[in-house]
Chain A
Amino acid sequence: MSLDIWMRENPLSYIWIGSYAVAFLIFAIEIAMVVHKRKITLQQVRLMREADESEEG
């Protein structure tokens, strides 16, 4: 069955899979990336702090 026929027979599935699922997947990926970036940055800052403390000590 071609996409044209399928989309006309299943408009809500077409909308949900094509638009909303893609949009929410993009949002989920963005949130995951932002959370990951924060974890990495915090880790770097902690390492720098530990290095500074060991130098002073």
Chain B
Amino acid sequence: MAINWFKYSAPTTFYGLAGKLIPWFAISAAVLCMVGLYIGFVVAPADAQQGEFYRIIFIHVPSSILSMFLYLIMAAYAAMGLIFNTRLSSMMASAIAPTGALFAFISLWTGALWGKPMWGAWWVWDARLTSELILLFLYLGFISLHASIDDPRRADRAAALLAIVGSVNVPIIYFSVQWWNTLHQGSTIKFTGTSMHIAMQQAMFTMLVACWLYAITVTLMRVRSIILERERHTKWITELAEVKS
């Protein structure tokens, strides 16, 4: 049976679908997180150069990847809302922003904790670190700009412009280690292969999927609240079982 995906682009139908999907994503995220931590801390060996300190990688790399991808997804949703004037797209962009900001913060925080034993400094004004910090400010700017305008549709449009312009920072973060001479190491995993131990790869990818599932769970939970808030004057909201009870 073919699924009509366009049906779920309306808040009325997406609200119910999101509610059904949340428990599945949440449980999968929790299970994968435990599996990833088990592989990362019990199965994976210590690194020859960094010893035990490298184990920060299992939270640092997924957070960094998610902070960049979530920004691109947020900007894409914001652009769709701006171009096609679709309500759900703008709501999704608003729902993604806080989670993206938190991942950017975790990336910077864990990076600082990794930097101290490896480089001898919590922070350096390196291209990768600085561009990631700018990403955090872009997220905060998006959230603040959206919150500062009372009319939600106008706020969506203004914040969308910031999100679209700011997306230029994502390739800068990614390529910063190639374009500039940075203290931050280059990519360990490339299309041509990796020198990482197989258990380290498994732990990192499991944690990456767990973080993705967590981000989807929280975004869906948040977008349901945004839909409730913005559509509160509509008939379908007042007829929802959770509103009636």
Do A and B associate with each other? yes
Give A contacts to B, CB under 8 Å. Answer: 7-8, 11-12, 14-15, 18-20, 22-23, 26-27, 30-31, 34-35, 37-38, 41-42, 44-46, 48-49, 52
CB neighbours of A15 from chain B (8 A): 52-53, 55-56, 113
The interface on chain B, measured as residues whose beta carbon lies within 8 A of the other chain's beta carbons, has a size of 36
Q: Are B243 and A45 interface neighbours, CB within 8 A?
A: yes
Whether a CB of chain A sits under 8 angstroms from the CB of B98 is yes
CB neighbours of A26 from chain B (8 A): 102, 105-106
Report the Cα distance A42→B109, complex, angstroms.
34
Q: Are A23 and B51 interface neighbours, CB within 8 A?
A: no
Whether a CB of chain A sits under 8 angstroms from the CB of B184 is no
CB neighbours of A35 from chain B (8 A): 221
Whether a CB of chain A sits under 8 angstroms from the CB of B150 is no
Interface CB pairs A-B, < 8 A, 28: A11-B53, A12-B55, A14-B113, A15-B56, A15-B113, A18-B110, A19-B110, A19-B114, A20-B59, A22-B106, A23-B63, A23-B106, A23-B109, A26-B102, A26-B105, A26-B106, A30-B98, A35-B221, A38-B221, A38-B224, A41-B228, A42-B228, A42-B243, A44-B232, A45-B232, A48-B233, A49-B238, A52-B238
A45 vs chain B, min Cβ distance (A): 5
CB contact under 8 A between A48 and B232, given known A14-B113, A18-B113: yes
Report the Cα distance A45→B110, complex, angstroms.
40
| A31 CB contact (under 8 Å) in B60, B218, B225 | B218
Whether a CB of chain A sits under 8 angstroms from the CB of B222 is yes
